[in-house]
Structure 1
């Protein structure tokens, strides 16, 4: 089994600003405020969190192909 990656680069779809963030391991992060343009990012429909929508790495539950806190995989 591969190691779980806890760092992901979130890229704002509004201004393109990218910032590395640490992902929570015990909860989904539905919202994220861009530190550059202050846009409030929300997870895209069908994604469990902002990391799955805008991150360079999917959230830890999705990396493990297990149930995220809001939807099942597969």
Structure 2
């Protein structure tokens, strides 16, 4: 299965959604909502904001690799 590099992040504070390009070989620990300026961080047990708030998990997780080591 091909790795998807786009994920739509939904802000838990204001529900604003934006589709973003994910890095292929790194995790994104912080993401600032464009609308309300809330800084998102991964939820407990997740490696990055895409795994917590995105429609698609980050590329390393999609490939069953350990993420952000």
Corresponding residue for residue 5 of structure 1: 4
Give structure 2 stretches of 5+ with no counterpart: none
Q: RMSD in angstroms over aligned alpha carbons?
A: 0.6
Corresponding residue for residue 37 of structure 2: 38
Instruction: State the shift of 1:66 in Å.
Output: 0.8
Corresponding residue for residue 53 of structure 1: 52
Give structure 1 stretches of 5+ with no counterpart: none
Cα distance in 1 for residues equivalent to 2:68 and 2:40: 19
Q: TM-score, normalised by structure 1?
A: 0.91
Aligned residues: 69
Q: TM-score, normalised by structure 2?
A: 0.97
Runs of 4+ in 1 over 4 A off after TM superposition: none
Instruction: State the shift of 1:26 in Å.
Output: 1.6
Corresponding residue for residue 23 of structure 1: 22
